Amino acid sequence: MRRGRDFGGELHEGRHFLAIRIYYEDTDFSGVVYHASYLRFLERGRTEFLRALGLGQRLLLAREGADAVGFVVRRMTIDFFKPARMDEIITVETRPHEIGGASIELAQRVLRGDDVLVDAEVRVAAVANGRPRRLPTEVRQILRHSTSPVNRQVADR
């Protein structure tokens, strides 16, 4: 059996890149990506970014006691510039912008080649058992070390 390519994207100099093909289900009747589909693409980018750092969300949730943590979107600002269309390959770029005591702000872009289609700022909050919580120290350290010195804007709160 041949092993398929890694679908988790790649981490390079503090940025994570995830290639996604646009399918019919992602589009409206005219073959243009429906605006809400970009939210799914961005979520995949955030999930694969964490997984590339060894912080798979299922593993984080399964941690024992005080170390269990999940993430919920607290705020999202999104700008749409150009449409993507069926069968195109887009890239979701994700990088940490600010790492706080209980939240992470991520800068994300959806690209087609060099063209920026979507630009988003997303703040995710750490939660456990449905309640806000501080990021475990180990998680904060991994996130802080993932940022390239060029991109580093870390707020220690």
**Backbone phi, then psi, for 86, in 5-degree steps?**
-50, 140
Give the other-Cβ count within 10 Å of 8's Cβ: 15
Dist CA 100 CA 57 (whole Å)? 18
Classify residue 117 as exposed, middle or buried by CB count within 10 Å of its CB (0-12, 13-18, 19+). Answer: buried
Catalytic residue of the set 6, 26, 28, 119: 28
Active site residue 28: yes
- Token pair 């999940």 is at which residue? 70
Residues with catalytic function = 28
